[in-house]
Structure 1
Amino acid sequence: MVERIILELGPWTWWIVGLLLLGLEVMAPGTFFLWFGVSALVVGTLALFVDIAWQAEIVLFGVLSLASLLVGRMLMRQRADSEGDPSLNRRGSRLVGRVFVLDEPIAQGDGRLRIDDTIWRVTGPDCPAGTRVRVDGLDGPVLVVAPDPKAPAGG
């Protein structure tokens, strides 16, 4: 029965399969079924204009699927590398290099620093309150700070 439907629909079978795969892509995470759907649509379009045996259509679909999957993965990887914010899940990394004034002293290498509406734990050399410090890095959720060398002497 399925074979009869496929034979009666002819090239339109590939269009239906392609649209079903694209619909599946919408519901499934990732970009896996997209490339199979596009390949099916290409085979269906080619089959509309050129008389191809069904065996050749299946082979063509397999080759196009593999090729488009590999090219698509490569493009997605390049796009992921060029876009996005690498420090998205590391809020403190955005503070590295910035200078702040200590509200509380750093005593025995430990202290706290208010930045906007957040209080951060800091580590660094002992410094009195009011010292300008530069964030040099992160140690987990703790900011590593040092006195700012550009700060005016005595303040």
Structure 2
Amino acid sequence: MMLDAIGGMATGWLIAALALAIAELAVPGVFLIFLAVAAAITAALLVAVPDVVVPVQLLSFAVWSAVAVAVGRRWYRDFPVTGGDARLNDRTARMIGSVARLETAIEHGRGRVAIDDGSWPARGPELPAGSAVRIVAVDGGVVVVEAMAD
């Protein structure tokens, strides 16, 4: 049968494995890589036993897909992926603890502080412009500062 001749080639399964592995890069989550592993194992089966018919190849792919997904699920359950820095996309949280200079004096509890390339409203004790301050909190869009010890 022509389908057996075409499907019996390990190259087709290797191409499928490669395509699935590349597609994994474009798709969120982790799933296609397990199917890529199953396709690669099926290709290895065809290299070892070249005359395997298409239904057996498909069965091999289905079984190895289930095995790879089960192993992957167990792996991710036993070794969960910990998140990166929780402050990664929270610019205001990253400012806490940093040192900055006052652009304007803090009078009546209000002033402005220069942070990186911007100017932020600040709240804190009365201090002259140019004073070094440490950012201790962020309340909405206002940074809360304290004087640096000299």
The TM-score, its normalising length taken from structure 2, stands at 0.68
Secondary structure of 2:107's match?
A: coil
In structure 1, the residue matched to 2:97 is: 97
In structure 2, the residue matched to 1:139 is: 139
In structure 2, the residue matched to 1:10 is: 8
Aligned-pair distance for 1:113?
Answer: 0.6
CA 1:4/1:141 → structure 2, altered by over 3 Å: closer, same or farther?
A: farther
In structure 2, the residue matched to 1:118 is: 118
In structure 2, the residue matched to 1:61 is: 64
Listed as ranges, the gaps of 5+ residues in structure 2 are: none
Q: Is the 8 A contact 1:135 1:145 kept in 2?
A: yes
Listed as ranges, the gaps of 5+ residues in structure 1 are: none
Aligned-residue CA RMSD (Å): 3.4
Structure 2 distance, partners of 1:27, 1:63, is 22
Is 51-60 or 28-37 further displaced after alignment?
51-60
CA 1:100/1:42 → structure 2, altered by over 3 Å: closer, same or farther?
A: same
Structure 2 distance, partners of 1:99, 1:26, is 39
Structure 2 distance, partners of 1:132, 1:24, is 51
Q: Structure 1 vs Structure 2: percent identity of aligned residues?
A: 31
Deviations 1:71-106 (CA, angstroms, capped at 9, x unpaired):
67569953x63xx55433223333322333323122
Secondary structure of 1:43's match?
A: helix
Query: Match for 1:139: what amino acid?
Result: D
Q: Which has the higher strand share?
A: 2
Structure 2 distance, partners of 1:23, 1:99, is 44
In structure 1, the residue matched to 2:32 is: 33
Q: What is the number of equivalent residue pairs in this alignment?
A: 144
